[in-house]
Each structure stands twice: as C-alpha cells, then as structure tokens.
Amino acid sequence: MPVGLPDVVVTNFHRRYTGVSATVRALVPLQRQSLPIGLLDWGRLGLASRLRWWDLLWRGWSRPSGGRYRVWHARRDVEIVAGLLLKKLFRQPWKIVFTSAAPKPPGAWLAALLRHCDAVIATSARSAQFLSSFTEIIQHGVDIDVYSPPPDDALERLHEPLNLPGLSVPPSLQNLYWIGAFGRIRPSKGTDLLVEALIQVLPDFPAFAAVMTGLCQSKDAGFQRELQDKIDAADLTDRIVFLGDLDRETVLACYRRVLLCVAASRTEGFGLTPLEAMACGRAVLVSGAGVWPQVVDSEVGSSFETGSVASLATALRGLLQNPPLLWQQGRRGRERAVACHSLQGEADRINQLYRRLMA
C-alpha cells in the first residue's frame, strides 16, 4: 500500500517567476504551519516538499488523513486540467480549488474548466463580478514583517542618501523626497501616464524627485526610450530616474525611502505594490484599477481617474504640497495593512477553506 500524499497539493506550472509564482512562494510556508502541503513546482521556487508526477500517480489513491478528500489548488488553467485528470480519469479523491484574480470575464475555455472546480476564490470584489459563481473573496496579503518601516523611521530621514551595492542613485536624488513607482515598465502599468504627470508637476516642487523600479521587457524597450526622451527634453533627467529591475531587498529599501508610492495602472488583476508600500508606512496614490478602490481612501492616500494624466497631475499637486500629511497617511497605511491585509491572514483563510473541502 503506497504511503499517503499530503492532504493539500499546491501547483506552480510556470518556469518563469511570475506574480502567481510569487504568491505561491510567499503563502505556502505560512500555510504549512497548520497543514501538510505538498508543492508540484515547475518554477524552482526553492520550497521544500516538492512532489513529482510519479508521487501523484503512485500515491494518489492513498487515504487522506484529514477527511475524505485532498485539495488540489490551481492558479492557472493548465493546473486545473491536471487536477481534473487525476480526479476524473484516475478517480483519485481530489477537491479542486482555483484562485481567480483576472480583471475581466474568463474566456470560454477557462469558464468551462471553472464549472468543474469545487471552489473558486476571487481575490477582490471586482474579480468576483466577472465570475458566474465563486465560493469566497480572499484578498491577497503582504508579509508585514518583511514589508515594514525601518526601526529609525522619521520624515526627516527621508532626505538621507540611499547607498546599496549595485544600485546607482544620482547624487541629485539623494537629498530630495522620493515619489516611487514599483512594477513592470509597460503601458498597462501606466508608466507613461506617471511620467507625463511628473513632467507637469515636478518643476513646481523642487523638493521632490521620482524613481521607478521594475523590469522592462525587450518588447517594451522602445516605450521606455520614448519616455526617457520626454524626460530629457523636459530637463528632468536627474529627477525622474529608472532604476531598473532590482532584487527584493533593494526594492524594499526603495519602498522605505519614498514618501509617496504611485500606482498608475490602466488595468490590474489585483495589484500588490500599494499594499506593500502601505505596510512600509508610505502614502499611496492609485488609479481605479485592481483592488485599489477597496483599499485606498483619504486616510492612507488618494486616487485619480484611471488613464487620465490631468487627474493624476492634479492629485499629485494636492499631495506634494503637504509632506507632513503624506507622512501621517503612511502611518495610518501601516496600521491598516497590519490589521486587514497581512499575508498570514490570507494564508489562514485559504486553509480554512481547504479544511471545509476535505471534511
């Protein structure tokens, strides 16, 4: 008789490190604190207890320890297909869970697959609106222990130099307040909207500069060059700076250095960067994309009309006039992130759903 599998198997069928991969990598260690969870991983996430297909085919009929069923948690359509094969074709005792973060209705193929899932998690009220049915809304959370203010955090310290190995920060930025944007450099992220708004606003606010971190893929290289040309023509080369694709620790240091985080996306499935900034004690300015309308209000920052440079510029002007207010909004943002948007809270709610399905 084969030895049993863990009661839950989480899947990551993508070799490139994506936002979904990051979610799996962050959640699974926390979920394992209260449930045995195996990982079928193609992306080399570096987590223990990786399974192989042979493990599933050989041990998948063994009796679950927590109830009548095991849980198969998928976040991509191909992962649903794999779970259905084990459940329907091989008659193994699986309940299939899918997490949906898409800001649009599922295509016909995915919609058909969702009808065979035993539970569907929506990551926001907006993503839930596009589903014909869902089981529960469980918002993504952030690791509030990692994303946190520095111990000596103070408004006056945000003028101090940021010296990190491998990060080239122009001297012109070192003594200014930073506006930060985090994420990919591409049109869907609204990078062009932010650059155009900054070109309008920064000349009137000499105490501020802007930095943008994130990968620019080769297909978007021309897009970034056009933005850099506009920045150069406005004589703001030393005050609007692309820092490039940075490692996690350097990005965290940049979060802690900014006074305001701007998320200008035209579309988002969820959008974690404002929550990460809030957890670091920083004010946020967001478009109406993703989960942001449910998270951000005047207590923690502000918002602007999605896709509108004029609205973004107006919102920026209002916020930059009052650095102490931005600082206070950041304090309240940290409190809200801890109370409502922790990664541990997300992990606990997902595990509660697993237990109901296994029973």
Model confidence pLDDT, tens digit, residues 72-129: 999 999 999 999 999 999 999 999 999 998 888 999 999 999 999 999 999 988 889 9
Instruction: Name the maximum alpha-carbon separation found in the chain.
Output: 74
Q: Which pLDDT does position 65 carry in this prediction?
A: 87
Q: Which pLDDT does position 1 carry in this prediction?
A: 34
Indicate if the pLDDT at residue 3 is higher than 70: no
> Are the folds of 8-141+342-358 and 155-340 the same?
yes
What is the Cα–Cα distance from 127 to 130, expressed in whole angstroms?
A: 6
Q: Which CATH number among 3.30.1180.20, 2.40.50.140, 1.10.260.40, 3.40.50.2000 corresponds to the domain 155-340?
A: 3.40.50.2000
**DSSP characters over 27-71:** HHHHHTTTS-EEEEESS----SSB--HHHHHHHTTSPPSSSS-EE
- Quick one: average pLDDT of 315-343? 97
Q: Which pLDDT does position 168 carry in this prediction?
A: 81
Indicate if the pLDDT at residue 2 is higher than 80: no
pTM across the whole model: 0.86
- Quick one: average pLDDT of 320-335? 98
What is the Cα–Cα distance from 98 to 75, expressed in whole angstroms?
A: 5
User: What's the fold here for domain 8-141+342-358?
Assistant: Rossmann fold (3.40.50)
Instruction: Determine the straight-line distance between the first and last CA of the chain, rounded to whole angstroms.
Output: 23
Domain ranges of the chain: 8-141+342-358, 155-340
Indicate if the pLDDT at residue 259 is higher than 60: yes
